Structure 1
Amino acid sequence: MTTTQNPPREATVKGAIAEYDALAALLDGLTPAQWETATRCTGWRVRDVAGHVLGGAADILAGAVGTRTADEQARAHGGGSPAETARDLREASGRVRQALERLDDKVWSLPGPLADRSVGEAVLSLWQDTFVHADDVRAALGLPPDRGPGLEATVRWLRLALERKGWGPVTLVLDGLGTHPVGEGGPELRGDPVTFVLVATGRAEPERFGADAGVNVYA
């Protein structure tokens, strides 16, 4: 059975915008060498990851979600300096915030721009996408992962995505984040939530979390 309950509106909007701003702060002040550092996203440097996130925000503001691939976004928006990209992301973040804060509970539950997803789930997806790509940047620069609210939001989104994919049933028992059932029943998988996120987004081998290849939501 797929979970259909929407994420809480105000907290999710606040978290998604805070994640944009945190990424902008991370990018601001990077050196040219750091900007060109390769990431675990194949073929992408730090600048490309940042360009993709900025491009995604631009597509939201243009009402054009889903019209460009991630690579197209990275090419179109990855040409600035770290400071310029951070500035543009902060500006886009402010405009996205204004748009999202106008949503009421009725609109939050309506079908969104992504297939079979509500508006609320689309915003949760935005939060997790920014969080995961910020972690790509941190990993490339040798920085530790962020274990704040974005991690839990990403776990919630991944659980929904795995249920829709038909993976499981299993019960995820994640250190510090409690229990997250995927479907009803099934065995328990225990471990570190950051490792789970890396595995479930195809950034680490499934064996690292004791899972099968189906755990990758993008496979």
Structure 2
Amino acid sequence: MADSNPYWSAVRTTRLRIADLLEELAPAEWEQESLCRGWRVRDVAGHLALVPTISTWDMVAVAPRARFNPDRINTVLARRHGDRDPADLITAIRAHADTRRTARVLDTRNALFDAIVHSQDIALPLARRFPVPAEHSREGLRRVWAMGWPFHAERHLAGFTLRATDTDWTVGDGPEIAGPALALLLLSTGRTACLDALQGAGADRLKSSHADR
């Protein structure tokens, strides 16, 4: 039976499609670096398998090792679960595709954009396609721009206008960065692999800045 809640239906569909993508990967691809800095493809899979069932205690338990830094806590857990057998990770992602919970200190409103962004963290470095409906990326953009930490997209991209070309979404003021909502979502979460998909004076400025690094 179809899910009557569009948000959770999108989450479920994205998670299941990620499991399908992972099932196609060769062993060597699981070991490759993802777009998520310091994470292998298998670590991204480990994170996605864990998020629907993680507890606050799971995070507290590794906090000392991670020096109580939220980003490091996330990385420690992703790597720990990423070392599991790939078949186990795929099974876990599928088994919890419908799960609508996470740790109390996290937020289920992040579930959709988290899955979308991590799908690209896996697919793009492997030169694989993982299309995402524009309306799903738009929902992710709305959440990322509203949430502040950890991406602080509104602050980092201040002085630009961001405009999606495949759905109704525009924010900001200044030189335009225009392109597919998915590319804008990746940019808003700190990924630069999408720059070639963006156009406009603002995009040209970002590309020039990135080329100088």
Tell me the TM-score normalized by structure 1. 0.67
How large is the RMSD of aligned CA atoms in angstroms?
3.2
Counterpart amino acid of residue 25 in structure 2: L
CA contact (8 A) 1:152 1:177 kept: yes
Matched, 1:49 2:68: no
In structure 2, the CA distance between the partners of 1:39 and 1:207, relative to structure 1 (3 Å rule), is closer
**Aligned partner of 1:16 among 4, 11, 15:** 11
Matched, 1:133 2:118: yes
> Residues 9-158 of structure 1: matches in 2 within 5 Å?
10-59=5-54, 62=55, 64=57, 67=60, 69-94=73-98, 96-97=99-100, 113-114=105-106, 122-148=107-133, 149-158=135-144
In structure 2, the CA distance between the partners of 1:207 and 1:77, relative to structure 1 (3 Å rule), is closer
Counterpart amino acid of residue 136 in structure 2: G
Matched, 1:177 2:162: no
Counterpart amino acid of residue 40 in structure 1: L
> Could you tell me how far apart the structure 2 residues matched to 1:152 and 1:27 are?
24
Counterpart amino acid of residue 189 in structure 1: E
> Which one has more relative contact order, counting CA pairs under 8 Å at least 6 apart?
1
State, as a whole percentage, how many aligned pairs show the same letter.
23
In structure 2, the CA distance between the partners of 1:41 and 1:181, relative to structure 1 (3 Å rule), is closer
> Could you tell me how far apart the structure 2 residues matched to 1:50 and 1:28 are?
11
Unpaired stretches in structure 2, ≥5 consecutive residues:
63-72, 207-213
- Post-superposition offset of 1:80: 2.6
- Post-superposition offset of 1:83: 2.2
Unpaired stretches in structure 1, ≥5 consecutive residues:
1-8, 101-111, 115-121, 214-219
Q: Deviations over 1:113-157 (max 9, x none)?
A: 44xxxxxxx333111011101111111210134231432222222
**Corresponding pairs, count:** 180
In structure 2, the CA distance between the partners of 1:65 and 1:172, relative to structure 1 (3 Å rule), is farther
> Could you tell me how far apart the structure 2 residues matched to 1:144 and 1:34 are?
14
SS of match in other structure, 1:44: coil
Q: Deviations over 1:81-100 (max 9, x none)?
A: 33221101111224x14x69
CA contact (8 A) 1:36 1:47 kept: yes
SS of match in other structure, 1:172: strand
Matched, 1:161 2:147: yes
Matched, 1:197 2:201: no
Q: Which moved more, 1:128-137 or 1:18-27?
A: 18-27
Counterpart amino acid of residue 190 in structure 2: G
